[in-house]
Structure 1
Amino acid sequence: MSKILTQDEIDALLRNVSATETVQVEEEAPTRPIHLYDFKHPDRISKDQLRALRTIHDAFARSFGTYLSGSLRTLVDINLLSIDQAAYSEYMLSLSVPSCIYIVSSAKLKGSVILEISTEFGLMVVDRLLGGTEARINTVRELTVIEQSIMSRVVDSALSTLSEAWRNVYDLGVYVESFESNPQFVQIAPASETAAVISFDIIIRDTSYPMNICFPYFVLDPLIQNLSNSWANVGTKRLKKREFEELYNRVRLTELPFTAQLGSTKLNMKDYLTLKVGDVIRLDQRTDDPLKVWVDGKVKFWGTPGISKKKRAIRIARRINNLEEIVHE
């Protein structure tokens, strides 16, 4: 029969084990940085391409801001906020109702692009062009057909500036295909399609207005194939003094058609067919009214007729204002 240990013997054995036992501590593995990755919406645009896109649209923001400052006769700053990649459906859900959504197309692109402008900004621009102040619009509503027509001049200039910013990469040649105020009726890409959303902030005095450009990936893909590190400096290149002088001289020597319109009228077909030598056609303009002066097909000045050195001449009275330019466009 085995011997039964007393309590004192058990305590002695435990003390010996504690004294001789060595505890091995495993070294912790070095921590590695963890990056979040969305397998549902993977990034399809590289960092270098995003950098080039930012440079291109920075140049667009500066040029378009300069145009708006001249048209609205006030200081306008446009800042590029971000370039995000998101599902097309997520972007459309973020838009408010009503919105100013311009569907932009090009004969050289596979699909369409969205130019979305704040409705408040659109109403403010219309009010400013018609002689009002840049006071903030308190009531947000859809743009009327007449307001859309006035706003189209600004949007066309924005698209022209955007095409110019992309000129060294791709000849966009974009134009407005249609206008929508409700995002639910805009479907230019599948809901799950990845889209690049380029966000801007238009600042006029103390008020800011958002503006976004949405490129579906299948539209942007042919464009970004031309983007590389070499395009990182697009829009930041400064002209040398000699190059600037050459461009300046070329512009000064450019010849433009310059005409003055004495007046106009409308004739029905019966009167037209009975016209003969000596008939007097009454115009819709008085003899003391100023004449429209056309430069390259656009009304730019008001003038008065006269004679200079035995030749018919016209004296420039004043430059037309923005409202008159819209009316006579």
Structure 2
Amino acid sequence: MGKQLGQGDIDALFAAAGANASAKPEGAEGEVVLERYDFSSAGQISNDQMRAISSVNDLFARNLMHTLGAWLRTPFKMKLVAGEQLPFSEFLERLSSPNYICSIRLEPLGAVGLLELELALASPIVDVLLGGVGRAWPARELTGIEDAILTSVVQMTVQELNLAWQSVGLEFVFEKRESEAAVARMLTSGEKTLCVSFEARMPEAQGAMNLCLPAVVLNAILRRLISEGDRPKRRSKEAQARVRQLMGEVKFGAALQFPSMRLRASELAALEPGMVLRLPLAKHAISELRVGGLQLGRAHPVRTGEHRGAQLEGAIESEDLSGVLETQSAAETMSVN
């Protein structure tokens, strides 16, 4: 037969169990505190990340303003209006109709974003590129030619996006124009998206451009964007080539002249039209080529076709040229300020 426990034995067992539960193991720091986690907050963009995004997109807006303005040869203003996190369903509700909306692939993430351009802004751009003055027409669907022209403008916009986001290794690839039905199937209605809105103005029209990106896949890139914020920026080869190209279009004041000399006041006072003023220079004296008031080299005045020219004598050192250009740039900057 099994052993039977009395009431005293049972009380002793319960007392021992209570003592073991109240005793803490050596080295234990206490119980782990559990916190409630809301899975709906997954993909939420922090305030620091939103500030970093605003900085990048503001750079994009300024670059696109100058690029499109120079290409269209008409005043074109663009600015960042807002950046906010929205459910994809709310982004769809804000879309105008008809519109121009295209899909853009985010590499190396493999995700897909959307770029919308209001037709109120698209029509004057097409009008300018077709030789018009940039007037807006009533909202309607684009013709095949107009669609092809606007696609080239959107591709230029995507290139500027790449320049703005290249510091974090994010590349935008233009895919195609999408129908409203195809756009609605790209993301789930409840998925969080980053919606960035821009406002563009032309002399006779204004409109909006909206960029929609899935927020979840951007978190890793955004963390890198914040970490890169405090590091010195390094220009890519493409950016360096672009800066060099733009600097090559800068114009500096230049003059081909005789070296400084002294003349008698009586000779200057006696000058009349047709007189020859004798200069204290040898007949083979070489003129000075000055850029920004600084001597760059020596040259002979010559004829080149229907224009005058300067035939340089001797080589110009690159250090001397750089010094002259930097000095002139600094002088012009001080005069503007």
> TM-score normalized by structure 2?
0.55
Other structure's SS at 1:109 match:
coil
Which residue in the other structure is 1:248 paired with? 244
The alpha carbon displacement at 1:228 in A equals 1.4
Hey, what's the Cα distance between the residues in 2 that align with 1:68 and 1:74?
A: 9
Aligned pairs for 1:89-168 (under 5 A) are 89-137=89-137, 139-168=138-167
Hey, what's the Cα distance between the residues in 2 that align with 1:249 and 1:71?
A: 15
Code of the aligned partner of 1:194: K
Code of the aligned partner of 1:215: L
Q: Does 1:58 align with 2:58?
A: yes
The alpha carbon displacement at 1:234 in A equals 9.1
Q: Does 1:200 align with 2:198?
A: yes
Q: What is the Cα-based RMSD across aligned positions, in Å? A: 3.2
Code of the aligned partner of 1:176: F
Hey, what's the Cα distance between the residues in 1 that align with 2:69 and 2:245?
A: 26
Q: 1:141 to 1:225 in 2, by over 3 A?
A: same
State the Cα deviation string for residues 155-198 of structure 1 (Å, max 9, x = none).
Answer: 111101101101111231x2221212526644221110000100
The alpha carbon displacement at 1:89 in A equals 0.7
| Structure 2 unaligned regions, length at least 5 | 1-37, 249-337
Which residue in the other structure is 2:213 paired with? 215
State the Cα deviation string for residues 71-130 of structure 1 (Å, max 9, x = none).
Answer: 211111111011011100111111122111011114412310100001121222111101
Other structure's SS at 1:114 match:
strand
Percent of aligned pairs sharing the same letter: 29
Code of the aligned partner of 2:167: N
Which residue in the other structure is 1:191 paired with? 189
Code of the aligned partner of 1:207: A
Code of the aligned partner of 2:186: I
CA contact (8 A) 2:106 2:173 kept: yes
State the Cα deviation string for residues 211-267 of structure 1 (Å, max 9, x = none).
Answer: 0000111332232131216427999x99xxxxx99x639986xxxxxxxxxxxxxxx
| Structure 1 unaligned regions, length at least 5 | 1-37, 239-243, 253-329
Which residue in the other structure is 2:326 paired with? none
More helix per residue = 2
Per chain length, whose mean CA-contact separation is higher, i.e. which structure has more relative contact order (CA < 8 Å, sep 6+)?
1
Which residue in the other structure is 1:180 paired with? 178
Hey, what's the Cα distance between the residues in 2 that align with 1:68 and 1:169?
A: 24
CA contact (8 A) 1:87 1:194 kept: yes
Hey, what's the Cα distance between the residues in 1 that align with 2:177 and 2:200?
A: 21
Q: Indicate the structure (1 or 2) with the bigger Cα radius of gyration.
A: 2
Q: 1:97 to 1:56 in 2, by over 3 A?
A: same
Aligned pairs for 1:21-60 (under 5 A) are 44-60=44-60
CA contact (8 A) 2:199 2:209 kept: yes
CA contact (8 A) 1:55 1:233 kept: no
Hey, what's the Cα distance between the residues in 1 that align with 2:100 and 2:246?
A: 39
Code of the aligned partner of 1:165: A
Other structure's SS at 1:122 match:
helix
How many residues align? The count is 207
CA contact (8 A) 1:103 1:113 kept: yes
CA contact (8 A) 1:168 1:234 kept: no
The alpha carbon displacement at 1:142 in A equals 1.5
CA contact (8 A) 2:198 2:208 kept: yes
CA contact (8 A) 2:57 2:80 kept: yes
Hey, what's the Cα distance between the residues in 2 that align with 1:131 and 1:152?
A: 17
The alpha carbon displacement at 1:40 in A equals 6.5
Other structure's SS at 2:193 match:
strand
CA contact (8 A) 1:54 1:83 kept: yes
Code of the aligned partner of 1:88: F
Code of the aligned partner of 2:58: D
Aligned pairs for 1:249-264 (under 5 A) are none
Hey, what's the Cα distance between the residues in 2 that align with 1:221 and 1:42?
A: 10
Code of the aligned partner of 1:178: K
Q: 1:250 to 1:145 in 2, by over 3 A?
A: closer
